Chain A
Amino acid sequence: MDVTRLIIVAVGGQGNLLASKVLGEAALLSDIPVHMSEIHGMAQRGGVVESAMVFGDAKSTIISDGHADILLGFEPAEALRAIQKCNRDSTVITNLHPIPPFTVAIGKGKYPDLNQIQTLIRNKTKRLIAFDAVALAKKAGNVLAVNMVLLGALVETGLLPLTNEQVREAISTRTRKAFLDINLKAFELGNTAARA
């Protein structure tokens, strides 16, 4: 089976660990080998959280620079920061809703321009899918569902060895029942965003 490598970057608290868990569970349900690793140093203290997921016949749980087939960014500046994980043929999906780091508030550094982020990523990789996932999460009924929106866009690209049905099933088993309708709605809105 071919190997597909996915990097997910986010800011602590954005729910990306749940997103990777859902993908892992979907792989389990679909009998697809998966290896993943997480670095969440001090996620709850506002640091960067990175997960690497390797689908298919490989043993490694981390992804070297240039080796990600897909980069999923929960935050635009973090997507750009992680761009060296990609190569010319990589696909990048990113949320466009910025979370400026605290260093910006205390005047140490300037948040990059959103248009510039998109142009840079677009020029350096094969494809960029960028949209405001927070707005779609709100539309689905809960801003916290931003992870499900992004999953929807990710799976819709068809680059993962997982179908929308399989991931929807994993969402149903892995996320809290009270949020299930919102999560599935968010996932579908993500599907649509990636088709646009």
Chain B
Amino acid sequence: MHKLLSTEPGKKLLLLGNEAIARGALEAGVAIATTYPGTPSSEISANFFEIAKETDFYFEYSTNEKVALEVAAAAANSGVRSMCVMKHVGLNVAADTLMTLAYVGVKAGLVILTADDPFMFSSQNEQDNRYYAKLSGIAMMEPSSVTEALQMIAYAVELSEQLQEPVLFRTTTRINHSSEIVTTGEIPKRITKGHFQKDPFHYVTVPAVSRKLHQKLLKHQKAARTISDSCPFNFTEGSGNYGVICNGVSYNYVSDAIKELKVQDTIKILRIGFSHPMPSALVTDFLKGCDKALIVEEGEPWMEEAVKAIAQEAQITVLIKGKGKHFFSRLYEFDPAMVKHIMADFFGLQYSPVQPVDISGIPEIPQRPPNLCAGCSHRATYYAVKKAAKGLDTLYPTDIGCYTLGLLPPLSMADFLICMGSSAGTACGFSTATDQKVIAFIGDSTFFHSGIPPLINAVFNHHNFTLIILENGTTAMTGHQPHPGVDMNQLGYSGYGKVSIENMVRAIGVSHVEVIRPYRVKKSIEAVRRALEFKGVSVVISRELCALFAKSLKISRGKPFYVSNKCKNHRDCIEQLGCPAFYIEDEKVKIDADTCIGCTLCAQVCPEHAILPVKASL
């Protein structure tokens, strides 16, 4: 049995934030969950996927976040408690749905989880998704700890039902990827089927209907404000004339700082867990008892602006500080010492900071950037494209996935990236606005997510570029989740269909399509060359299973290779491929047999044919 299915209430478990959230959903009676995988949210859905195999809980990997939210919205409007999980930028994709879903509302609870990523540990930006709550007008919850994340999900589901609106559940990486000892509650019986009660004049958002729905949304917001004021997740702690208003992980740093500085009687805390709408009565009362107040929040001055507006309404004139020079930054994540330091400064407290060791005399330590795995098929594809495009003035728009690592030398095969699907979209623009040879890269999962409309655009508007679709049979970067092009039967799952990328590309009307097996180097170079010579939109589908995924499926590719004494030390292998199985010993290139998966790429690249398979007898 999956550990999150434990029915023993009051059991103490050491859980990752994302596991606690998944457990929270079960305890909240959520029966349908959807997602498009994205770090730092991925483990929530990975657990849902496993749980769905064992129970009547329904979970799906949807093609993108917009679809995921629509699936969940329909379920919630049919009376089934639902949850939709995504990383922060996923909500940009789902935003179109979100904005009008807020008008339509829900019947059963719907929680939309957005996992924000301050510092961009694994994201292209660090946007603060709290603005989406404000923009769409829905309520928002923000936990400060793993335990709270678990408990808050049930609250959020109930709140959603009470308000008849979806609720935004905002975490940050340090909630998703922290662990804590939590105590489980009970898992109620799930209601897995509902019935959609037709009411087109409330559900079909033509202008005349939407004008009424917007009024309804404002009414719900007003109700939400009242609930926010009495919500147990908005609470005060400590006493004194100084005040700190904080949310999320910042609360932990503030709380530890107050304890360490022993100022429980000087500084009080207002912790905001229900952050949209802000609890205005609570904030007003809190500010009234303060000589000055500090707002501690990562990201944008979201609460700060709200608190200042509330103070203005109430004609409270105490000094309120948050972001700014000598105060908190809008950049990156906070840490306990930084928060303690700024608090001590602002409130004039005695404080002797701990000195980190001085790092003088420490030599430069070589960087350890992540690298494509040994035998990764993307490396082979990049090599083939590089060879085929030799001499051309190339431009490589890329996309989001492991292959973005092709940015790094020695491959250096990435020139432009904005977001999911932008490879093909920007390729249309680059090929129009420049005379450079545009070759765009997109992974299979990303292609399904948002690569199809730009490819259709390219065909319709007669653009001129080559799109390389890296079909490696999985969503590799986020932990090998399936996507619509995956043969689920082969992986031992039933009840799935399969969409062929090749058929789809041909159906879109791309007239030049090549399919390559990237480990066949010569053939691949020739095929890519043909595609590059074609005037118009050409597509190369590079088909080879992700090496790491293959390993986990125990699909072996054959014997490892070694560098024989025919090697003349050109180092073409290292300098052009950069496979992590290579290392240098006594000025000679060696291959680590435990790391090499025997993809044969380097053997085909070596001009001396010096790289040979390890013989069975060796």
Chain A residues packing against B (C-beta within 8 Å):
11-12, 21, 24-25, 27-28, 33-42, 44-48, 57-67, 77-78, 80-81, 83-88, 90, 100-106, 108-112, 116, 120, 124-125
A105 near B335 with CB under 8 A, answer no
Residue B574 at the A interface, CB < 8 A? yes
A45 near B370 with CB under 8 A, answer yes
Alpha-carbon distance between A97 and B253 when the two chains are bound, in angstroms: 36
Alpha-carbon distance between A140 and B371 when the two chains are bound, in angstroms: 31
A46 near B368 with CB under 8 A, answer yes
Alpha-carbon distance between A108 and B365 when the two chains are bound, in angstroms: 10
For window 307-362 of B, CB contacts with A under 8 Å fall at 335-338, 353-359, 361-362
Q: Which of A12, A65, A103 contacts B337, CB < 8 Å?
A: A65
Chain A neighbourhood of B354, CB < 8 A: 66-67, 87
Q: What per-residue 1/0 map shows which CB atoms of B163-184 lie under 8 Å from chain A?
A: 0000000000110011111000
Central interface residue in A24, A25, A102, by most chain B CB within 10 Å: A102
Q: Contacts A35-B180, A42-B405, A102-B368 given; 11 further ones with Cβ under 8 A?
A: A36-B178, A37-B177, A41-B122, A47-B370, A64-B336, A66-B354, A66-B355, A83-B359, A88-B355, A105-B582, A124-B358
Chain B neighbourhood of A38, CB < 8 A: 177-179
Residue B14 at the A interface, CB < 8 A? yes
**Shortest beta-carbon contacts, A-B, top 4:** A109-B366, A66-B356, A64-B337, A42-B370
Q: Given A39-B121, A41-B121, A60-B252, is A110 in contact with B366 using a C-beta cutoff of 8 Å? A: yes
17 interchain pairs, CB-CB under 8 A: A21-B14, A34-B14, A35-B178, A37-B174, A37-B179, A38-B178, A38-B179, A46-B580, A59-B145, A62-B174, A77-B366, A80-B362, A83-B359, A101-B367, A102-B368, A102-B582, A103-B368
Chain A neighbourhood of B368, CB < 8 A: 11, 46-48, 78, 101-103
CB distance from A169 to the nearest CB of B (A): 14
Taking CB as reference atom, which chain B residue is nearest A143? B594
Taking CB as reference atom, which chain B residue is nearest A90? B357
Chain B neighbourhood of A80, CB < 8 A: 362, 365
Q: Given A61-B174, A61-B249, A67-B354, is A106 in contact with B574 using a C-beta cutoff of 8 Å? A: yes
A105 near B574 with CB under 8 A, answer yes
Taking CB as reference atom, which chain B residue is nearest A92? B357
Chain B neighbourhood of A35, CB < 8 A: 145, 178-180
Chain A neighbourhood of B405, CB < 8 A: 42, 45
CB distance from B333 to the nearest CB of A (A): 8
CB distance from A133 to the nearest CB of B (A): 18
Alpha-carbon distance between A101 and B580 when the two chains are bound, in angstroms: 9
Taking CB as reference atom, which chain A residue is nearest B251? A59
Taking CB as reference atom, which chain A residue is nearest B594? A143
A46 near B371 with CB under 8 A, answer yes
CB distance from B376 to the nearest CB of A (A): 9
Alpha-carbon distance between A57 and B580 when the two chains are bound, in angstroms: 42
Chain A neighbourhood of B357, CB < 8 A: 66, 83-84, 86-88, 90, 124-125
B578 near A24 with CB under 8 A, answer no
Q: Given A39-B177, A67-B337, is A109 in contact with B364 using a C-beta cutoff of 8 Å? A: yes
Taking CB as reference atom, which chain B residue is nearest A84? B356
CB distance from B577 to the nearest CB of A (A): 10
Residue B533 at the A interface, CB < 8 A? no
Chain B neighbourhood of A81, CB < 8 A: 365
B256 near A60 with CB under 8 A, answer yes
CB distance from B277 to the nearest CB of A (A): 26
Q: Is the interface of A mostly helix, strand, loop or mixed?
A: mixed
Alpha-carbon distance between A116 and B361 when the two chains are bound, in angstroms: 10
B366 near A24 with CB under 8 A, answer no
Taking CB as reference atom, which chain B residue is nearest A36? B179
B14 near A45 with CB under 8 A, answer no
CB distance from B221 to the nearest CB of A (A): 32
Q: Given A66-B356, A124-B357, is A34 in contact with B370 using a C-beta cutoff of 8 Å? A: no
CB distance from A5 to the nearest CB of B (A): 10
A116 near B181 with CB under 8 A, answer no
Q: Given A60-B256, A65-B337, is A44 in contact with B548 using a C-beta cutoff of 8 Å? A: yes
B371 near A102 with CB under 8 A, answer yes
CB distance from B116 to the nearest CB of A (A): 15
B366 near A104 with CB under 8 A, answer yes
Residue B402 at the A interface, CB < 8 A? yes
Alpha-carbon distance between A55 and B355 when the two chains are bound, in angstroms: 21
Taking CB as reference atom, which chain B residue is nearest A59? B252
Chain B neighbourhood of A83, CB < 8 A: 357, 359, 362
Alpha-carbon distance between A162 and B525 when the two chains are bound, in angstroms: 59
Alpha-carbon distance between A35 and B252 when the two chains are bound, in angstroms: 11
Alpha-carbon distance between A44 and B358 when the two chains are bound, in angstroms: 32
Residue B410 at the A interface, CB < 8 A? yes
A106 near B355 with CB under 8 A, answer no
Q: Given A103-B369, A125-B357, is A62 in contact with B335 using a C-beta cutoff of 8 Å? A: yes
A77 near B365 with CB under 8 A, answer yes
Alpha-carbon distance between A37 and B17 when the two chains are bound, in angstroms: 9
Q: Which of A40, A61, A88 contacts B178, CB < 8 Å?
A: A61
Taking CB as reference atom, which chain A residue is nearest B122? A41
A28 near B14 with CB under 8 A, answer yes
Chain B neighbourhood of A11, CB < 8 A: 368
CB distance from B355 to the nearest CB of A (A): 6
Q: Given A45-B402, A78-B368, is A60 in contact with B336 using a C-beta cutoff of 8 Å? A: yes
CB distance from A38 to the nearest CB of B (A): 5
Chain B neighbourhood of A61, CB < 8 A: 174, 178-180, 249, 252
CB distance from A182 to the nearest CB of B (A): 18
CB distance from B553 to the nearest CB of A (A): 15
Q: Which of B180, B355, B477 contacts A87, CB < 8 Å?
A: B355
Residue B372 at the A interface, CB < 8 A? yes
CB distance from A157 to the nearest CB of B (A): 18
Alpha-carbon distance between A66 and B336 when the two chains are bound, in angstroms: 11
Alpha-carbon distance between A108 and B464 when the two chains are bound, in angstroms: 37
A25 near B14 with CB under 8 A, answer yes
CB distance from A33 to the nearest CB of B (A): 7
B174 near A105 with CB under 8 A, answer no
A87 near B12 with CB under 8 A, answer no
Alpha-carbon distance between A38 and B121 when the two chains are bound, in angstroms: 11
CB distance from B130 to the nearest CB of A (A): 21
Alpha-carbon distance between A112 and B13 when the two chains are bound, in angstroms: 41
